[in-house]
Homo-oligomer: A and B are copies of this chain.
């Protein structure tokens, strides 16, 4: 039986004087080890194969693949690498703050505050310059003002819609979500890509016709 070490084995002992390169790597490894916990944060959406709940690490990978594959449908030209970096780190705050279900409006009230505290702690594990640049990416994603943040949001909403349609809307029905709510919640897909919004709306309509999502 293996127990998770309380202190990561690669943290520098505080009494050891290290050169700055070693200290940078130690901080970077401490951050990466902490981020491994994202694999244990589960979402409401089901995966299509196993029909178990998707976790945030899988979700983050899937969003990057969606962005890489679908970037040509962005309403405006985007810097794809910036979108990918944003998506890689956008959910890391949920290690502390947990996943907030997209239709849980009560819990969404203090979501940003909880997540901002998590961002302080987790990005703060990195060397200061990287902590600042990763935090800036996360703030940009949250603000949804740049074309890159908008396209990142497009795939972040599109992918769960698609997974829900492919798993007979179980997660929607389990949570009493209606077609009207799905359209209202996910309308920001169109801010990044009118084409993808039109396409996914057609797929969602099929789910409604099939009885997988109440009108």
Measured CB to CB, the residues of A under 8 A from B are 2, 4-5, 8-10, 21-22, 24-25, 28-29, 31-33, 35-40, 46-51, 54-55, 57-58, 60-62, 64-66, 68-70, 72-73, 80-81, 84-85, 88-89, 126, 130, 162-163, 165-168, 170, 195-196, 199, 203, 206
A69 & B28 in contact (Cβ 8 Å cutoff): yes
Residues of chain B contacted by A196 (CB below 8 angstroms) = 25
> Across chains A and B, which 9 residue pairs bring their CB atoms closest together, nearest first?
A81-B81, A61-B61, A57-B58, A40-B49, A2-B168, A36-B48, A57-B61, A60-B61, A39-B58
Secondary structure dominating the interface of A: helix
A193 to chain B, nearest CB (A): 10
B165 & A51 in contact (Cβ 8 Å cutoff): no
Given contacts A60-B61, A165-B9, is CB(A40)–CB(B36) below 8 Å? no
A63 to chain B, nearest CB (A): 9
Measured in the bound complex, the distance between the Cα atoms of B35 and A48 in whole Å is 10
A2 & B51 in contact (Cβ 8 Å cutoff): yes
Measured in the bound complex, the distance between the Cα atoms of B165 and A4 in whole Å is 11
Nearest residue, chain B, Cβ from A1? B51
Q: Please indicate which of the listed interface residues A33, A60, A89 has the most CB atoms of chain B within 10 Å of its own CB.
A: A60
Nearest residue, chain B, Cβ from A196? B25
Number of copies: 2
Contact among B21, B35, B69, B85 with A32 in the assembled complex (CB-CB below 8 Å): B69
Contact among B25, B36, B65 with A49 in the assembled complex (CB-CB below 8 Å): B36
Contact among B8, B25, B55, B69 with A130 in the assembled complex (CB-CB below 8 Å): B69
Given contacts A9-B165, A61-B57, A65-B35, is CB(A49)–CB(B4) below 8 Å? yes
A167 & B2 in contact (Cβ 8 Å cutoff): yes
Residues of chain B contacted by A22 (CB below 8 angstroms) = 199
A162 & B10 in contact (Cβ 8 Å cutoff): yes
Q: Please indicate which of the listed interface residues A9, A66, A80, A126 has the most CB atoms of chain B within 10 Å of its own CB.
A: A9
